[in-house]
Amino acid sequence: MTVATVEGYASLLEETLPRVRARITEAARAAGRDPSAVTLVGVTKGHPVEAVQAALAAGLHDLGENRVGELEGKRSALGPIPGRWHFIGHIQSRKAGRAVAASDVIHSIDSRKLAGKVARAAEEREEPMPVLVQVNTSGEEAKSGLEGERLVEELHEIAESPWLRVIGLMTMAPFVAEERVLAKTFGGLRALSERVRSVTEQVGPELSMGMTNDLEIAIREGSTMVRIGTALFGERGTA
């Protein structure tokens, strides 16, 4: 399949975008939720700028990337876009400033150290950065994110920075997991959000959870932002 042209991605999205939106609508309705409360973030990582152009033309205005260099490349090729760039990948501390400059919202604040670096970059440009704090709810060692006994305390510390606007929390589920495990992972993030928000106004209500394979369960458990790549743009190249 060669879809590496704007036309190719456009015809792919003609099929996939309504299908993904229908999955979101159906899952929200089944949970008694308003479908418009769930933002679809189209994850264009691993796809060329043509995918971004086709997505914007199709009305998908929230786009996600997970590598600073790749995002910068797409930004410089396209110029300002009529939409928002969501950064969803792990950020090395030394790239925090570049991530802040290139993103509209960062979903992947996965340590206090990174939070500090991002806050400093935001302070330098004198504009608070909208972020989500990533939580390792599954306990898998390979996953990044806040975890353990000091999690709530650390979350409070991060949220106290005047240069970070913590709009919510983010998590990733184990890649291969039974529905029960997924529900527990996502439900755990929602419970944490409720607990933290009952004692501070500095953490917002967004819950970034759900990908191609688990968006229904995530929405049932309260997701407000699903991050979808494969179901929209097809398989990614390995490069």
Ligand X SMILES: *Cc1c(COP(=O)(O)O)cnc(C)c1O
Q: Which two tokens stand for residue 184?
A: 């527990």
Residue (of 239, 235, 232) closest to 42 by Cα position: 232
The stretch among 73-81, 178-186, 193-201, 225-233 that binds ligand X (CB under 6 A) is 225-233
Q: Which two tokens stand for residue 9?
A: 């991605």
Handedness of CA 139, 144, 146, 150 (dihedral sign): positive
**SS3 at position 136:** coil
**Residue 189 and residue 186: Cα distance in Å, rounded?**
5
Instruction: Among 73, 156, 212, 234, indicate the residue that binds ligand X (CB under 6 A).
Output: 212
Instruction: Among 45, 47, 74, 190, indicate the residue that binds ligand X (CB under 6 A).
Output: 45
DSSP 31-86: TT--GGGSEEEEE-TTS-HHHHHHHHHTT--EEEES-HHHHHHHHHHH-S-SSEEE
Q: Applying CB under 6 A, does 225 fall inside the site for ligand X?
A: no
Q: How far is the CB of 44 from ligand X (least distance, A)?
A: 10
Residue (of 82, 84, 123) closest to 102 by Cα position: 84
Q: How far is the CB of 167 from ligand X (least distance, A)?
A: 16
Q: Applying CB under 6 A, does 89 fall inside the site for ligand X?
A: yes
Q: Applying CB under 6 A, does 55 fall inside the site for ligand X?
A: no
Interaction mask 172-211, ligand X, x per CB under 6 A: x--------------------------------------x
Q: How far is the CB of 234 from ligand X (least distance, A)?
A: 9
Q: Applying CB under 6 A, does 71 fall inside the site for ligand X?
A: no
Q: Applying CB under 6 A, does 168 fall inside the site for ligand X?
A: no
User: Could you list the residues that contact ligand X (CB under 6 A)?
Assistant: 43, 45, 66, 88-89, 172, 211-212, 227-231
